[in-house]
Structure 1
Amino acid sequence: MNTCIYMIRHGESPKTEGNERTRGLSEKGRLDSEKIIELLKDEGITSFVSSPYKRAVMTIEGLAHFCGQEVSVIEDLKEFMFSTEDKVVGDQEVYAMVRKMFETPDYVPPMGESMTECQQRAVAALKEILTIYKGQRVAIGTHGLVMTLMMNHFDNQYGYEFLMNTSKPDIYKMEFNEDTLVNIDRICL
């Protein structure tokens, strides 16, 4: 039996409250998390894991509770570190750095990490999830760049252009046979 991973990019999150780890969802983000419940409630998802960032957890916890489950947090699924973990970085600055990093994957922003480092830690976490939850359907609360880097590891068509065309939230169902990717489908909200 194949393992299905539902990559669920977090909903809209205001960059005016808290820090990177603690900022939650906007009103639109909260409403979208309700839509995710309706969309995925019949998928047979049995396990829920997430980045430790509040916005990622909040995006999938309603679905987890609907399914009678809790969300397990995995530190290595955290957002790409653009700077110090607590500093909120504005969209314009982020997008400029992301473009540069896709052109030079080993570029390290000041006090951040390289795309290569981020991809290695996130893919290692995903491979562990594939082992632990083999044959199950698992929802992962994630971030756009981290999701893209995990998908890119298995299929290089998922790069900068793909990332720039994702939405908040967004859902991609990845189907694996053991640790080999066999299919990716976007589930539209």
Structure 2
Amino acid sequence: MQTNIYFVRHAHSTYTPDELRRPLSERGLRDAQSVTDVLKSESIDYVISSPYKRAIQTVEGIAKLIDKEIIIEEDFKERKLAEGSVADFREAIKKVWADPDFSWKGGESNNYAQKRGVEITLEVLKNYEGRNIVIGTHGNIMVLIMNYFDTIFDFTFWQKLDMPDIYKLTFSGRELIGVNRIWGADNNG
């Protein structure tokens, strides 16, 4: 029995230091409508999201369309890079990808964040076997989860993600049998 997980990287947000309540920008809200339009033909059964507002806002349209509440899962939140801000984000993120056990002060290593993300993903695969599940999440944690199943999904892959982006992962039990990008903001003209 196949299970499809649709990882949806959140749309563009308006920057605030408040990770939990950072909202989508006007562009992000428009792109979230496009996410809904794409997913409405995918026979979605359930919608799960990170607790972060921008992730919830990106998938709430499909939840409303299928008349289901969004299930909030804390472990789909973005990986914590460091306590507070970092001087050079690109260099900071490069370093954690180069050394999976390294973490900045107060942050999560790739291995730690990946373990958290994979555990909740495996739980979703068990609890919703044979279903089509949308998961509203974030770029780094999404790619770390995908990397667990296939190492082709790495730092270089992460750098090419759009905001939003949708990847359909097809599983047979816990085995990944296919990955398809079904939409990204760059498809939007």
Q: Do Structure 1 and Structure 2 share a fold, with TM-score over 0.5?
A: yes
Residues 41-56 of structure 1: pairs in structure 2 closer than 5 A? 41-56=40-55
Residues 53-68 of structure 1: pairs in structure 2 closer than 5 A? 53-68=52-67
**CA distance in structure 2 between the partners assigned to 1:183 and 1:168 by the alignment:** 22
Q: CA deviation at 1:82?
A: 1.5
Q: CA deviation at 1:67?
A: 1.1
Match of 2:187 in 1: none
Instruction: Please state whether the residue corresponding to 1:6 is helix, strand or coil.
Output: strand
Q: CA deviation at 1:30?
A: 0.3
Match of 1:10 in 2: 10
Match of 1:39 in 2: 38
**CA distance in structure 1 between the partners assigned to 2:17 and 2:31 by the alignment:** 21
Alignment TM-score, normalising by the size of structure 2: 0.94
CA RMSD, 1 decimal: 1.3
Q: CA deviation at 1:93?
A: 2.8
Which one-letter code corresponds to 1:121 in the other structure? R
Q: CA deviation at 1:188?
A: 2.1
Which one-letter code corresponds to 1:34 in the other structure? Q
Q: Percent identity, aligned pairs only? A: 37
Runs of 4+ in 1 over 2 A off after TM superposition: 92-95
Q: How many residues align?
A: 184
CA displacement, residues 145-188 of structure 1 (integer Å, 9 cap, x when unaligned): 00000000000000000000000000000000000000000012
Match of 1:169 in 2: 164
Which one-letter code corresponds to 2:69 in the other structure? E
**CA distance in structure 2 between the partners assigned to 1:7 and 1:28 by the alignment:** 20
Q: CA deviation at 1:95?
A: 2.2
Residue 170 and residue 113 in structure 1: after superposition, are their counterparts in 2 closer, same or farther (change >3 A)?
same
Task: Judge conservation of contact 2:4–2:132 (CA < 8 Å) in 1.
Answer: yes
Q: Which runs of 5+ in 2 are unaligned?
A: 185-189
Task: Judge conservation of contact 2:81–2:93 (CA < 8 Å) in 1.
Answer: no
Instruction: Please state whether the residue corresponding to 1:188 is helix, strand or coil.
Output: strand
Task: Judge conservation of contact 2:82–2:103 (CA < 8 Å) in 1.
Answer: no
Q: Which runs of 5+ in 1 are unaligned?
A: none
